[in-house]
Amino acid sequence: MISWIPLVAETDLDTIVERSHQTPCVLFKHSTTCSISAMAKARLERNWSFSTQEVAAYYLDLLAYRPISAKIAARFNVHHESPQLLLVVNGACTYDASHLDITVDELRSELPISTK
Predicted TM-score (pTM) of the model is 0.94
Q: pLDDT by residue (tens digit) across 45-101? A: 999 999 999 999 999 999 999 999 999 999 999 998 899 999 999 999 999 999 999
Enter the DSSP assignment of 100: G
Helix, strand or coil, per DSSP, at residue 74? helix
- How many helices (DSSP H) and strands (DSSP E) are in the chain? 4, 5
Quick one: fold of 5-107? Glutaredoxin (3.40.30)
Q: pLDDT by residue (tens digit) across 6-18? A: 999 999 999 999 9
Say whether pLDDT at 116 is over 60. Answer: no
Domain residue spans in the chain? 5-107
